[in-house]
Amino acid sequence: MKDWVAFYDSAHSIYVNARHRDVHYARLAEEIARYVPSRSAAVLDYGCGEAIHADRVAAGAGRLMLAEAAQSVRAHLIGRFKNNPRITVISTERAAVLAEGSFDLVVMHSVSQYLTRDAFDNTAALFYRLLRPGGLFLLGDVIQPDVSALSDAWALIMFARKDGFLLAAVYGLVRTLFSEYWHLRKRLGLTRYSEAEMIAELAAVGFAAKRAPRNLGHLDTRMTFLARKVGEPLQDKVAN
């Protein structure tokens, strides 16, 4: 995970241009906002990335906490939202020691693939502790075992064609093949789950989970899960 955090803390080229970054985060914010249960809800977006449109989520919530591991990304978020009283930016280390039952909704999007299975279990256990009874863990962008990088590339092309950055996307895909991201992906791999495996992982922590009708964002081959806090967590995972 440290290698991936270092990558996202650098001047990477995951987003092919400013238009790509803007529409990516705008779409995510709009879709996440639909899951905010009330205008008084407390929301945690864990591993939020650049989250440049987080104010759209915060507008429908009581408070929004953005937790990000990459220091430079946190600094940009703090600067961007310093005048928004509903938004607080913290490190993921700080999130790990927040009070039990602090949130109504916890979001983690496009992070599970960078975690080992043990690390994911411990993170899910943390979210179980941080959620209030009946709270929702919204888990997005889970990669299935049989989905190839070509599927992701095609999804980006279709997304770019619709939103006006097609040429930049084609160039960006070629550039990615020679980038640090691709070297890391080949060296470290990505953690993948079937639908049944992820539901079982979440159930082991105490969540009642189901797959959402569609994934958050533009990658339709990936999965989003809705995990509701019920039952009793496994004590060894909570302790970690």
Q: Is the pLDDT of residue 180 over 90?
A: no
Which range of 19-23, 34-38, 152-156, 235-239 scores highest in mean pLDDT? It is 34-38
Please report the pLDDT score of residue 11 as a whole number.
72
User: Are β-strands 223-229 and 207-211 bridged in parallel, bridged antiparallel, or unpaired?
Assistant: antiparallel
Q: Is the dihedral of CA 45, 32, 197, 6 positive or negative?
A: negative
Please report the pLDDT score of residue 177 as a whole number.
66
Q: Strand, coil or helix: what is 166?
A: helix
Mean pLDDT throughout 69-85? Answer: 96
Please report the pLDDT score of residue 237 as a whole number.
33
Give the neighbor-by-neighbor strand order of the sheet with 103-109: 87-90, 63-67, 42-46, 103-109, 131-142, 223-229, 207-211
Residue 221: give the domain boundaries: 2-239
**pLDDT tens-digit series, residues 51-69:** 999 999 999 999 999 999 9
Residue 114: DSSP 8-state: G
The phi and psi torsions of 17 (rounded to 5 degrees) equal -165, 180
Are residues 229 and 207 in contact, defined by beta-carbon separation less than 8 angstroms?
Answer: yes
Q: Is the pLDDT of residue 128 over 90?
A: yes
Mean pLDDT throughout 17-35? Answer: 91
Please report the pLDDT score of residue 18 as a whole number.
85
Answering whether pTM is above 0.85, one says yes
**pLDDT tens-digit series, residues 188-225:** 889 999 999 999 999 999 999 999 999 999 888 999 99
Q: Is the pLDDT of residue 174 over 70?
A: no
**Least confident among 33-42, 57-66, 178-187:** 178-187
Q: Is the pLDDT of residue 232 over 60?
A: no
Query: For residue 216, what is the domain's CATH number?
Result: 3.40.50.150
Tokens read off for 151: 């599927």
**pLDDT tens-digit series, residues 215-226:** 999 888 999 999
**pLDDT tens-digit series, residues 2-20:** 688 887 888 776 777 888 8
Per the structure, the count of domains in the chain is: 1
